[in-house]
Amino acid sequence: MPVKTLRNIDKYMIWFFILILFWLKYLFVWKKEKLIKNPKKILVIRMRALWSSLLTFPMIKQLENYYWEWVEYDLLASTRNIWVYKNQWYFKNMYNLFSFKDILKLLCSFKKYDIVIDTEEYFMISAFMSLWLWKINCGYTNIKVRWLAYNNWIIYNDKQHSCLACLDLIKAIWIDYKTPDALEPLKYTDKDKIKVDEFLKWLKYSKLICMHTWLAETSKDRAWPKEKWIELIQNIINNDNEVKIILSWSKWEYESVQEILLTLHEKYQGNVINICWMFSLFWFAYLLEKCDLMVSNDTGPLHLSAAMWTKTIGLFWPNLPERFWPYPIGENVWIYKWDWNASINVHLGRFDEDEECNIWKIEVEDIINYIK
């Protein structure tokens, strides 16, 4: 089902069920302090976006450090993002929103969890599920009606990084957090390294640069134009003929990436490799760890690169980099050219089109200067 259709269903239908279920709160009395100090089961909800799920890792880690061994942690995710948590050690059970078996199990689990943490910024379905499974729950209340679902809530702070906004959620249950020095890396196994090591052995290079030139289906006006990607690639290779540039990552980007590759002059094509559809998520994470640099549009691989401690340059518009820059900024760079306005406001569920196309204002020279 198209993303836009799912959003409309969520926006215009689920809120009605929240209004109904909200009144069930007052049929029960809970000793909040006891449940906060001695929980047995905690559920984390993250249903949207494979890549932004990486930004929940620091919050989950600090939550586990606070309660440590005596708590069982579960996850409610979706088909789009559940596998990003696969190799992380956080969760005992992982439920898929689009699995009938999993949803049936959760619907039969009314008040099962002592604490439910809803990390979604605007989805009504996540608020509804947290209300159904709650004893203590917390979430963001920037969207009307959503606040009815929570007995502990915060307002999303859009003037800070999304990773820190996620950490704010545990403040709602009276846990102080420490600002992380970096994102948590995505864990891979020794088996995941085999194909990548073979690929790198075949690939002879002086420097290895990854470029993510496309993005997901939402707000495509975040994409830096293909002509400028081509100019950037040619400029870099002219400066170092032994540098290799890999264009990433999934089948979604394949056609767009191939168009860039075929448009390049043939003398540059031997230095550029289209790896779309070649590597799994975990192979890609390991590959990024081996790269000297990542240059990316404002999209998920930017966060994965930063999490793998690879130097990262992020190109921004019309989203605000203060919310989604490659964390931490001391190690990485964002480039943007505009005033304090954004047509994308994820915390409000708004993904308006950019009428000015200010992403075009970023020049190749801007990026080359940072690379040097």
27 and 85 belong to one structural domain: yes
More confident residue, 31 or 48: 48
Q: At which of 139, 171, 203 does a domain end?
A: 171
Exposed, middle or buried by CB within 10 Å (0-12, 13-18, 19+), for 17?
Answer: middle
Nearest-5° Cα angle at 137, 135 to 143: 140
Q: Are 297 and 223 in contact (CB under 8 A)?
A: yes
Indicate whether 185 belongs to any domain: no
**Tens-digit pLDDT profile for residues 334-350:** 898 776 577 788 888 88
Indicate whether 351 belongs to any domain: yes
Of 324, 315, 313, which is closest to residue 347 (Cα–Cα)?
Answer: 324
127 and 258 belong to one structural domain: no
Report residue 184 as tokens: 């948590």
267 and 131 belong to one structural domain: no
Exposed, middle or buried by CB within 10 Å (0-12, 13-18, 19+), for 82?
Answer: buried
111 and 204 belong to one structural domain: no
Indicate whether 51 belongs to any domain: yes
127 pLDDT exceeds 70?
Answer: yes
Indicate whether 268 belongs to any domain: yes
Indicate whether 183 belongs to any domain: no
307 and 361 belong to one structural domain: yes
Indicate whether 29 belongs to any domain: yes
More confident residue, 372 or 172: 172
CA distances from 193 to 179, 204, 274, 369 (A): 31, 18, 19, 33
Q: Which residues contact 3 (CB under 8 A, 6 or more apart)?
A: 217, 218
242 and 207 belong to one structural domain: yes
82 and 227 belong to one structural domain: no
154 and 295 belong to one structural domain: no
Q: What is the arithmetic mean of pLDDT over 234-246?
A: 96
Indicate whether 333 belongs to any domain: yes
Residue 307 half-sphere exposure toward CB, CA atoms < 13 A: 27
362 and 213 belong to one structural domain: yes
144 and 278 belong to one structural domain: no
The pLDDT assigned to 53 comes to 95
The number of distinct structural domains making up the chain is 2
Give residue 95's domain range.
Answer: 3-171
Give the Cα separation of 219 and 191 in Å (integer): 36
**pLDDT tier, 29 (very low <50, low <70, confident <90, very high otherwise):** very low
106 and 215 belong to one structural domain: no
225 and 301 belong to one structural domain: yes
**Tens-digit pLDDT profile for residues 67-80:** 876 899 999 999 98
Q: What is the arithmetic mean of pLDDT over 52-75?
A: 91
Q: Are 152 and 125 in contact (CB under 8 A)?
A: no
Which CATH number characterizes residue 209's domain? Answer: 3.40.50.2000
Q: Are 310 and 289 in contact (CB under 8 A)?
A: yes
81 three-class SS = coil
**Tens-digit pLDDT profile for residues 185-226:** 999 999 999 999 999 999 989 999 999 999 877 778 889 999
The pLDDT assigned to 240 comes to 93
The pLDDT assigned to 6 comes to 59
172 pLDDT exceeds 50?
Answer: yes
pTM above 0.75, yes or no: yes
The pLDDT assigned to 38 comes to 82
Indicate whether 121 belongs to any domain: yes
Of 217, 237, 300, which is closest to residue 4 (Cα–Cα)?
Answer: 217
**Tens-digit pLDDT profile for residues 257-299:** 999 999 999 999 999 999 998 999 999 999 999 999 999 999 9
